[in-house]
Chain A
Amino acid sequence: MKRRILLATSAFALGLSALSGAALADDPLKVGFIYIGPVGDHGWTFTHDQARVAVEEHFGDAVETNYVENVAYGADAERVMSQMALSGVDMIFATSFGYGPDVNSVAQRFPDVAFEHATGYIQEAPNVGLYNARFYEGRAVIGHIAGRMTETNTIGYIASFPIPEVIMGINSAYLHARAVNPDVQFRVVWAYSWYDPAQEAAAAEALIEQGADILMQHTDSTAPVTIAQDRGILAFGQASDMTAFAPESHLTAILDEWAPYYIDRIQARIDGNWEAGNVWHGIVDGMVGFAPMNERIPADVLEEAEAMIAAIEAGEYHPFTGPINRQDGSAWLAEGEVAPDGDLLGMDFYVEGMTGDVPN
């Protein structure tokens, strides 16, 4: 008897899943995106939207996407995602860290919708997946190039907020610049903004006044590379290829390549085997890439940079490999020791040799 019920139930379940499978095959899968900024920022939000466009191109009629831009954290994000879920989307990509509490709250109310949250850390529902990129791998490469190419031995760094992601980037770039140029100095300006062209431009000018001949940025606008072009110095772009804004000065840019991950996760949702994960992808997974290298990079430097990219991709080299001391001289990583992910994700200190303090 029991067995028969079991059979009946499983037959019913099979029928159901066959049904939903058929439904999936006919209707396009609906995927919603929410963005913190405007799609035209040429930085963070722009790269996510480019990935959304790539998703549409890849899947054609099988996937339908929509998005809302400029969505503030909190009530606005919660409302937009709830309305998206009510409109029948099957999957939502929430593309900024501050959406964490909102994503989890909405996910609990809509258990049939799959949520993917960029750069977050809160998983309070089984249908919330997290993803992040190892941008420090890219920072290591541009740090190396900068260390080799600077003539004033001064690199200007426009930072956004003193949080682990940003501090990790500064440390990675600095370590690899110093490795090839022991005299190199980093000057850091904190913009306290992710996207503020006027402030970023002012920061760039200030850094040039302090003698910087190469600029790096952890902010999203094209203002710093444009200033670099005007003032005849060098710069690295951020998030997307900014060559068009500074053809002579733009050495390369660390690219946010979200498309491979998005296509992979959406395919999993179509196949019915999507599960919430928590991934931190790097160059090897295709999430971190590089814009075309400028011809002004000398051939030997270019060769070294490409060798470093290849070594990181092959898993032979980790940008945070000991010995590395903290700024105060205390030991962090011993000879040959590789930084645990937890240390990196909580990084609140500069490495030895950096001048200035992490603001508190």
Chain B
Amino acid sequence: MLRLEKRPQPSKFWNWATPVLAVVLTMIAGGLLFMALGKDPFAAIKMIFWDPLFSPQFAAYSRPQLLVKAGPLILIAVGLAVGFRAGIWNIGAEGQYIIGALCGAAVALWFWPAPGWYIFPLMVLAGAFGGWAWAMIPAILKTRFNTNEILVSLLLVYVAEKILAAMSVGRMRNPDGAGFPGSRNISQYPAASNQELIANTGMHWGVVAAFIAVIFTYIMLHRHILGFQVQLAGQAPRAARFAGVAPARLIVLCLGFSGAMAGLAGMFEVSGPARMISIDFNSYYGFTAIIVAFLGRLHPVGIVLAGLLMALTYIGGELAQFMLGLPSAAIQVFQGMLLFFLLAVDVLSNYRIRLSVREAV
């Protein structure tokens, strides 16, 4: 008979081993799924995890693309992780990402086509501000009226999507765009463009910002009093209050920081890889980043690895789609399994599994 026994302390070993175990379990379950779809499971798993990194045909192109895809995920996830550690649940990073992109793009389109070294830095500020401001709505509603930040931040995603659509066909529409929705191509506007810093490396300012955010967050969480307060508030809210942590201040800080990071990610994306504001500009980065944050154990270094892994499943998943004819839904299920198994095996870090013989009564 299997029995679960609560550990007095979460296991350090399993805390880091469970993500690896989750990946292995995902590979096994995913392989079975691909087999049920009539595909060679080994070929499919190899195509997703190996070929983007090492196949001579694709690797030279795909490896830098990992950074492009992972950059915004890491930047958003690092911001979210701080709040999640404190028990503050910002589920609306997708909306803050959109508003950040809109604010950044607004600055670029305002100055278009003038040159100026100050335009890109202004866009960075506007992007961060936009995301911060959008996150302040749930923050203020929570601190003033005690609303649930999960619901408010999530619902604001849909509001942001409507604003995005209205902007794409309205104020920000490209006047030379033959009436199609979407703004001017910002990546073709030199003063506002977020180009690759070194050719064929995938490194753009957004990736740089992600790594700065990772280092900053690491130091803050592990070396700064604020990091201690965040941990305390998450693990023992009552004790935190006695220790002098002001909950309202923490809520505003955590939501504001994650909002600003998401806004930055949107701004770097719209001026670089995504090129322009369009109706479908947001591609679930804000939601995927939640998976990345948990997969990375809410730890900045873990998030970097998780972001790269998630990006790998996207890029490899696309290869598997057109090389092997797998439907995109199968890839999405595969990615979903990753989070599912991660949460499922989490039990191992908090509980010990004991084999016991039940005594007859």
Contact = CB atoms under 8 A, between A and B. Distances in A.
B322 A68 contact: yes
B178 A164 contact: yes
Given A66-B322, A68-B318, A101 B179 contact: no
A323 B62 CA distance: 56
B280 A72 contact: yes
A72 B281 CA distance: 8
B203 to A, nearest CB: 14
Contacts, number: 105
Nearest to B276: A101
Interface in B288-338: 315, 318-319, 321-323, 325, 327-329
B283 interface: yes
Given A79-B318, A161-B279, A38 B328 contact: yes
A87 B323 contact: yes
A68 B166 contact: no
15 contacts: A38-B328, A66-B323, A68-B318, A69-B328, A70-B328, A72-B283, A74-B278, A75-B68, A86-B58, A87-B319, A87-B323, A101-B185, A161-B169, A164-B179, A348-B179
Contacts of B180: 97-98, 121, 163
Given A66-B325, A360-B170, A121 B279 contact: no
A214 B165 CA distance: 28
B182 interface: yes
Interface string A60-104: 000000111111111110111011101100000000011001100
Given A67-B322, A86-B58, A98 B179 contact: no
Contacts of B177: 121
B61 interface: yes
Interface of B: 57-58, 61-62, 65, 68-69, 162, 165-166, 169-170, 177-182, 185, 269, 273-276, 278-281, 283, 315, 318-319, 321-323, 325, 327-329
A203 to B, nearest CB: 15
A347 interface: yes
B181 A161 contact: yes
Contact of A101 (B57, B275, B321, B327): B275
Contacts of B169: 161-163, 192, 359
Contact of B318 (A80, A162, A165, A347): A80
A298 to B, nearest CB: 37
Contact of B321 (A68, A72, A164, A347): A68
Contacts of B181: 161, 163
Contacts of A75: 68-69, 269, 273-274
B239 to A, nearest CB: 45
A73 B278 contact: yes
B146 to A, nearest CB: 31
Contacts of A147: none
Most buried by A among B170, B180, B319: B180
Contacts of A39: 327
A74 to B, nearest CB: 4
Contacts of A66: 321-323, 325
A345 interface: yes
A79 B165 CA distance: 24
Interface string A301-313: 0000000000000
A162 B315 CA distance: 34
A346 interface: yes
A32 interface: yes
Give the top 5 A-B pairs by smallest Cβ distance, nearest first: A75-B273, A74-B274, A164-B179, A72-B283, A66-B322
A98 B69 contact: no
B165 A69 contact: no
Interface string A329-360: 00000000000000001111000000000011
A102 B185 CA distance: 11
Contacts of A80: 318, 322
A39 B281 CA distance: 21
Contacts of A38: 328-329
Interface of A: 32, 36, 38-39, 66-76, 78-80, 82-84, 86-87, 97-98, 101-102, 121, 161-165, 192-193, 345-348, 359-360
Contacts of A165: 179
A121 B178 contact: yes
A40 B275 CA distance: 29
Contacts of A86: 57-58, 61
Nearest to B72: A75
B187 to A, nearest CB: 8
B273 A74 contact: yes
B178 A74 contact: no
B279 to A, nearest CB: 7
A165 B180 CA distance: 9
B179 A74 contact: no
Contacts of B61: 82-83, 86
A178 to B, nearest CB: 24
Contacts of B319: 83, 87
Contacts of B280: 36, 72-73, 98
Nearest to B164: A192
Contacts of A68: 318, 321-322, 328
Given A68-B321, A72-B280, A82-B61, 19 more contacts: A36-B280, A72-B283, A73-B278, A73-B280, A73-B281, A75-B69, A79-B68, A83-B319, A84-B322, A86-B57, A87-B57, A87-B58, A87-B319, A98-B180, A98-B280, A161-B169, A161-B279, A163-B179, A192-B279
Contacts of B69: 75, 79
Most buried by B among A66, A74, A76: A74
B178 A346 contact: yes
Given A87-B57, A192-B165, A345-B179, A69 B283 contact: no
B65 A98 contact: no
Contact of A98 (B178, B278, B328): B278
Nearest to B68: A75
A86 B55 CA distance: 11
Nearest to A68: B321
A79 B65 contact: yes
Contacts of B273: 74-75, 78
Nearest to A89: B322
A36 B328 CA distance: 12
A286 B331 CA distance: 36
B278 A192 contact: no
Contacts of A163: 169, 179-181
